[in-house]
Chains A and B, each alone.
Chain A
Amino acid sequence: RKEVEQDPGPFNVPEGATVAFNCTYSNSASQSFFWYRQDCRKEPKLLMSVYSSGNEDGRFTAQLNRASQYISLLIRDSKLSDSATYLCVVKRGGYQKVTFGTGTKLQVIP
């Protein structure tokens, strides 16, 4: 089983729709969680950290479920500019071992 798993998609959604992605992780010792966004042929950019209490940034909401070992990202009122690949990132250990998921591709359609 992969340490971090994501549905690769693509998720094709119309503008204005709400879309949610999940990411599961296998190591219960994982400590920090992030969502990154990567546009085609570009470097990943931090979208948001994921806190135990959940966090929201505008149209984006991230949540962590430690019991079930998954994190989620909810995007409301999708924009065309949200089209990208969303990478789930899990960090564990004092070594700051970082593992990237394979990403979920989102395509927002006019």
Chain B
Amino acid sequence: GAVVSQHPSWVICKSGTSVKIECRSLDFQATTMFWYRQFPKQSLMLMATSNEGSKATYEQGVEKDKFLINHASLTLSTLTVTSAHPEDSSFYICSALGGTSGSLDTDTQYFGPGTRLTVL
């Protein structure tokens, strides 16, 4: 149990285009998902917390109009990088809290495999 998928696993796009990344919890329901960004040789930086059915909560310094988050169902959250620029090139990782399933630890984050974004 506790499988989280991300799609796409990597993407290359031109500067100015928008890119949508999907995060799905495959075998459990997740009311809360997190989006992180990781630059090379740095730690994960939390970008935003996504709660199903409500607006995402963004960390300080993260532009909510640039990184659009939608958490429309208990198994899917999407991150859209709008008007991407080369400095947005990074490894984007989502995670989902264990939810209400009896077999999962609701205090634990389960991570997706990440999406590597390269903006040319």
Contact = CB atoms under 8 A, between A and B. Distances in A.
Interface in B70-120: 91, 93, 97, 105, 107-114, 116
B34 interface: yes
Contacts, number: 43
Q: How would you classify the secondary structure of chain A's contact residues: helix, strand, loop or mixed?
A: strand
Contacts of B49: 95-96
Q: How would you classify the secondary structure of chain B's contact residues: helix, strand, loop or mixed?
A: strand
A49 B32 contact: no
A31 to B, nearest CB: 9
B93 A102 contact: no
- What bracket does the count of chain A residues touching chain B fall in? 20 to 34
Contact of B107 (A32, A95, A99): A32
Given A43-B93, A43-B113, A100 B43 contact: yes
Interface of B: 32, 34, 36, 42-46, 49, 57, 91, 93, 97, 105, 107-114, 116
